[in-house]
Structure 1
């Protein structure tokens, strides 16, 4: 089995005809047919069934599709890494983070990079999946929590405060802050349990020996703001206000802001670990100078 046969298989599966696949791959149609036949012989299964001029995947073909895609992705990654090793450069970085972190931390930083900086390819995952994704092979991660001991290298980037978002007609709309015990009396619109903001808020509530009285989990941040704007509760988050909601700083029982820490992580065994550490330092400086002031000014 050769990688070119798998690439041909994926192209035919995507486009549905040998003609279209041949045009995209810039090879003759008979060559495409021969590569598919060779792959079927090597695997011992039939991958396609004919419907006129179009081809559709058999059950075996559908099961083969994800594996073939994974193998080609890994092969392409190997080629990229080998080229970077040969040149002594880190030209592309696969970075994983939760969607809000990508929007408010990484994307603004990427916008400041130069032509000679690495290309940042992003992968959105749940907040509690970042460390696992980096351990599985992604180059760099941004998460709220510190990685488990003995695993990944990490660096603190910054902290951002949690806010409660209310309708302009809410009694808190002209206030600058609200305490946790005041918050517990409100109908809350909370992120899902795996969201880093929720993790930090839960920890603060437990430390204050308080309990949620009324709350609804709303994983999508825009919907939390929409519901808060519609007087359906008080939304919790770290993002910019949406739909006219008013931000109110959340304070713990000592009067200090409840804050979400942000960390970068990477494998200490990565071939470009030193370059990733330098990237983390640059990102940390940017986060302290730009991300944190903007979050505190909400």
Structure 2
């Protein structure tokens, strides 16, 4: 179906006559009438009542009019989207990241976006497959390992891993703790599926140290809850909960990277957003 006759039909319905619609659109009355007759033949219905009375929509025309309006609105939206794509603009932005990164990094960053930025959406994805989401519809992926060579990307931050203790704990007033001190305490760790645990494992191996007493948890929130009860020191990268006090573990960091497809129509915008996210992380954590 051609949109021009549909547009003329709506214009006539709004103007109340072919003569008024033709004048508004700077067309001749016969030309507009032919277009509308062609639309009626194509649809197999009469859109207007043509008798000696006042010019008016037929019952079929009245029923078809809202459909025609929606069709024109959708067509205009499609053209606007195409124009935005051609200009390299993003109307929507889908970011994929691991759960903790979404909660503690991406979500707070999204709160800084403005009305001029793309409308955001997020996907939670396990670290091992986060970059693969770029082939499934995500625009920007945030990972904890360097991006694959076929993608564009940049480092975002080196985020701290925290030792969380209750306010009354002897470490509550400290800013940092060394790993050799850490292993003297009862530790509340995430399993090895999570990056904070793997980062701590690597730091201990590099220092020639071994764990003392520890307990494992699948959820960082649970580790913090148990720490709040005074049962040990929670080692996680999440933001603090339960009034716990964060103590940075020296030499234990989680790297964050942003990646996007190099041929994405909005690659320049994605790079700009990644740069803003990097600056946000620097301000939030004081680290790069």
TM class by shorter-chain length? 0.5 to 0.7
SS of residue paired to 1:162: strand
1:221-279 Cα deviation digits (max 9, x unpaired): 22111100112221012333221222222124xxxxx2222211112232322221121
CA distance in 2, matches of 1:134, 1:210: 39
Change over 3 Å in CA distance of 1:182–1:88 after alignment to 2: closer
Change (3 A) 1:176 1:85: closer
2:88 and 2:269 in contact (8 A); partners too: no
Match of 1:292 in 2: 285
Q: What TM-score do the two structures reach when normalised by structure 2?
A: 0.65
Secondary structure, aligned partner of 1:170: coil
Distance, in Å, in 1 between the alignment partners of 2:271 and 2:174 is 41
1:206 is matched with which residue?
205
Rounded Cα–Cα distance in structure 1 between residues aligned with 2:258 and 2:267: 12
Q: Please give the alpha-carbon distance, in whole angstroms, between the structure 2 residues aligned to 1:270 and 1:206.
A: 41
The alpha-carbon deviation at position 174 of structure 1 amounts to 3.5
1:137 to 1:203, Cα distance in 2 relative to 1, 3 A:
farther
1:77-92 matched pairs, under 5 angstroms: 84-86=84-86, 88-92=88-92
Determine the structure 1 residue equivalent to 2:32: none
Residue of structure 1 aligned with 2:257, choices 254, 257, 263? 263
TM-score in terms of structure 1 length: 0.63
1:170 corresponds in structure 2 to 169
For residues 226 and 265 of structure 1, do their structure 2 counterparts lie closer, same or farther at Cα, with a shift above 3 Å needed? same
Cα distance change of structure 1 residues 168 and 111 upon mapping to structure 2, 3 Å threshold = closer
Q: C-alpha displacement at 1:103, in angstroms?
A: 2.1
Return the alpha-carbon distance in structure 1 between the equivalents of residues 133 and 156 of structure 2: 19
Name whichever of 200-209 and 93-102 sits farther off.
200-209
Whole-Å Cα distance in 2 between the matches of residues 181 and 247 of structure 1? 18
**Distance in 2 of aligned mates of 1:198 and 1:79:** 49
Shift of 1:84: 4.7
The residue number in structure 2 matching 1:283 is 277
Shift of 1:154: 1.4
Residues 175, 86 of structure 1: alpha-carbon distance in 2 compared, 3 angstrom cutoff: closer
Residue 101 of structure 1 deviates from its aligned partner by 1.5
- Partners of 2:137 and 2:98 in 1: CA distance: 17
**Contact (CA 8 Å) 2:86, 2:265: kept in 1 or not?**
no
For residues 116-171 of structure 1, the C-alpha deviation after alignment (integer angstroms, 9 at most, x for no partner) is 211111011223332232344421111222123x2322111222222101233433
- Supply the RMSD in Å over aligned alpha carbons: 2.7
1:181 aligns with 2:175: no
Q: Secondary structure of 1:262's match?
A: strand
- Structure 1 residues without counterparts, runs of 5 or longer: 1-77, 253-257
Give secondary structure in 2 for the equivalent of 1:248.
Answer: strand
**Cα distance 1:89–1:249, how it changes in 2: closer, same or farther (>3 A)?**
closer
Pairwise mapping of residues 1-298 of structure 1 onto structure 2 (< 5 A)?
84-86=84-86, 88-148=88-148, 150-252=149-251, 258-289=252-283, 291-293=284-286
